[in-house]
Amino acid sequence: MSPKVKLSTLSPIIIIDDDDFFQVAIEAVLRDRFDVETVVVCATAEQAVAQLSGGTRFGLALVDLNMPEIDNRQLLDTLKAAQPDIHLVVLSASRSRDDILMALSAGAQGFINKGLGIGETQSALEQIADGAVYVPPFTPQSTDAAAVAETEGEGSSLPLSALTPRQLEVLRLLVAGQPNKGIARALDINHSTVKFHLSFIFRILGASNRVEAAILGARMLKEGE
């Protein structure tokens, strides 16, 4: 079955990565599987900023972390400042919970681990192109046992820090049993915006459906009081 070619609507796409092999691999995926015509590849943050500051309006930026000579948060903030409407997606080998939360708080609409296979990466990109937020399950990796213990000791309240005030309102209405239409009416937002926020919330909570999200959300909201 041929893939949905929705990502092509976000062309031109910019790749910001200093790994030559990965540059070639992800560019091939974009061109061959999504029919993206225009792909610009940058190996440094300086090159990327120059491209984004030019006349081309990019629909999507695929960004690696730990680029030379720039802090991760500074890089993402700089990219969003250059083109605020760009879809920003982190493609990184990191599995750090802190990196995921940092990227989301900087406005990234996805965090894709480089360890995913081509098929799963393709699926993640399709979900993002369709308006969803893609993040992996929270599986913090650390060689520091004390750091891991501290994270576990925080319980389930930490994911709530990744939610915006609006998303917390959506979560509270979901926990209260409101359907999507009810949430949209209560917050005076459209139905597609509700779906976008719920997709993000499901990923953050690790929930696969509304019932799971409501149960997990109720517990987390109570713990956060």
Average pLDDT over residues 91-100: 86
> Which pLDDT belongs to residue 223?
72
Q: Tokens 């949905």 identify what position?
A: 4
pTM (two decimals): 0.64
Domains and CATH numbers, the chain: 7-129 (3.40.50.2300), 155-223 (1.10.10.10)
Angle of CA points 223, 196, 14, to nearest 5°: 115
> Mean pLDDT throughout 94-107?
84
Is the model's pLDDT at 43 over the cut of 60? Answer: yes
Residue 141 has pLDDT above 50, yes or no: no
Tell me: pLDDT of 148 over 70. no
Residues 13-24, mean pLDDT to the nearest whole number: 91
User: Between these two residues, 204 and 157, which has the higher pLDDT value?
Assistant: 204
Which residues, other chains included, contact 7 with Cβ-Cβ below 8 Å and sequence gap of 6+? 13, 30, 34, 36, 60, 125, 126, 128, 129
Identity of the amino acid at 29: V
Q: How would residue 88 be classed by pLDDT, with cut points 50, 70 and 90?
A: very high
Average pLDDT, the chain: 81
Low-confidence winner among 53-62, 145-154, 195-204, 216-225 (lowest mean pLDDT) = 145-154
The answer on pLDDT for 175 being more than 50 is yes
d(CA 129, CA 6): 6
- According to the 3-state scheme, what is the secondary structure of 108-175? CCEEEECCCCHHHHHHHHHHHHCCCCECCCCCCCCCCHHHHHHHHHCHHHHHHHHCCHHHHHHHHHHH
